[in-house]
Amino acid sequence: MIKIIALLSTLFVNLYGAIFLAASSNKQFKNRLFLALFFFDSFLLFVGHFLSFNEYWAAFRFFDFLFLASLLAFYPLYYLYIYSAFNFSPISIKWIYHFIPSIAIAIFMLFTVVFSNWADYESYMNNNLYGTELNSSSAKYLAYLYKGSRMFHLVQIVFYNYLTIKFLFFAKNKMNDFYSNLDKFQLKYFYIVNISFILLMSIPGFYVTVIGRTPLNENGLQLLYMCTLFTLLYIILTIVGLRQIPAEINLDIDSDATLEEENHQQELVIIEKNLLHYFNTKKPWLNSQLNILDVAKNIGTNRSYVSKVINESFECNFNLFVNKYRVNEAKLLLKNHPELTIAEISERAGFGSVNSFIRIFRNVENYTPTEFKKRNSEQG
């Protein structure tokens, strides 16, 4: 009974999560569709666990190939979801390579099961769950496929966790170099939850993959603890996936031409002058949704050169560059209009929210807007 409750809880959370995320996805929120695919893959995994642990082997016999395919597609699909959350192009020929192991093992397992008899498969499953001896070459081949898939999955855990964490930091830098206001994207929670998910899913997942099914089959409580942890992680991931807003533009597309070497430095100097003139005369930072494309368009260049100028000449990213102007605007408002509330100053200075205003002001000035206002009033 414990095994049934443990596995069904995670199974249905994954199924409902997949349905809900797929139903709520659209062109703007395509990341939800990729998260739904990841959840459906997890659902298939837990269907396989449910059938095998509860000894519905006649049904599992022709589901086993899907189970192994889902196992080897688990981390590639999660990586694909993370990629889509930042509106990078996920649909390209290169992504097929990530799923070749999953497709290959499914084909091998399906053919092996079809050409083996029930006694061979029963021997394989008894070895799988109870550690008994394998009594035929077909049973041994089935066991080799299963154990080989587990070993390959261990490699995937390390490899895709590395790729995912590396990509999250890369995407974070890209977002900071493109947007002046990141509040609406809920990135803080997205980073925390997904890195936590990677660690909390991977460590027990690695452990379960190493020990196999036999210890979990003998200890129902251990299986219950694992499934409870996984269920909570899936619920939290669903909530964050629904809250997170993808970038509006594709961050990995950059059609900007490359400057010729001899004109490179001279062109960048002109762009820098135009950039400073634009900011000093038009005050674009007052628009809380300002992004680097808007700036590039208004000074007659492209985003790569604007980013390069800001990175090299001002030694910061676009987000910090714009927010320094907003902080200076806020300081003027705090000095000249002490009657204004912090919320009013935040809005007038171009910040996306009061919380981001206070956080950014403190990071730049080393004290909060309220402390600055108090100091200014004491000096006056």
- Report how far residue 177's alpha carbon sits from residue 162's, in angstroms, rounded to the nearest whole number: 23
Give residue-wise pLDDT tens across range 245-294.
777 666 554 444 444 544 567 788 889 999 999 999 999 999 988 999 99
- How many helices (H) does the chain have, and how many strands (E)? 17, 0
pLDDT of residue 186: 63
CATH topology of domain 261-379: Arc Repressor Mutant, subunit A (1.10.10)
Nearest Cα neighbor of 351 from 187, 186, 182 is 182
Report residue 54 CA to chain centroid gap.
34
Q: What are phi and psi of 89, to 5 degrees?
A: -70, 110
Range(s) for CATH 1.20.1070 in the chain? 2-243
Task: Provide CB contacts within 8 A for 66, sequence distance 6+.
Answer: 44, 48, 106
Going by the DSSP 8-state scheme, the letter that residue 380 receives in this structure is: -
Please state, for a pLDDT cut of 70, what percent of the chain lies above it.
91
Say which residue the tokens 């097929």 belong to. 96
Q: Which CATH architecture has domain 2-243?
A: Up-down Bundle (1.20)
Residues 87, 91, 97: CA angle, nearest 5 degrees: 125
pLDDT of residue 326: 94
Q: Which tokens is 275 given?
A: 């950039």
Nearest Cα neighbor of 278 from 294, 265, 289, 254 is 294
DSSP string, 316-364: S-HHHHHHHHHHHHHHHHHHH-TTS-HHHHHHHTT-S-HHHHHHHHHHH
- Report how far residue 211's alpha carbon sits from residue 204's, in angstroms, rounded to the nearest whole number: 11
Nearest Cα neighbor of 132 from 214, 75, 55 is 214
pLDDT of residue 261: 46
- Kindly report the pTM of this predicted structure: 0.83
Per-residue pLDDT of the chain (380 residues; tens, 9 = 90+): 666 777 788 889 999 999 999 999 887 788 899 999 999 999 999 999 889 988 899 999 999 999 999 999 999 999 998 888 876 665 567 788 999 999 999 999 999 999 999 999 999 999 988 888 988 899 999 999 999 999 999 999 999 999 998 988 888 888 888 888 877 666 677 778 788 888 888 888 888 888 777 777 777 777 778 888 888 889 888 888 887 777 766 655 444 444 454 456 778 888 999 999 999 999 999 998 899 999 999 999 888 889 889 998 899 999 999 999 999 999 999 888 888 899 999 999 999 889 889 999 999 989 898 888 888 776 65
* Distances, alpha carbon 148 to alpha carbons 24, 109, 121, 135, in Å: 37, 11, 17, 19
Range(s) for CATH 1.10.10.60 in the chain? 261-379
- Report how far residue 237's alpha carbon sits from residue 17's, in angstroms, rounded to the nearest whole number: 10
Give residue-wise pLDDT tens across range 211-235.
777 777 777 777 778 888 888 889 8
Beta bridge partners of 291: 179
Beta bridge partners of 179: 291
Say which residue the tokens 């629904």 belong to. 242
In the chain, what's the furthest Cα-to-Cα distance? 92
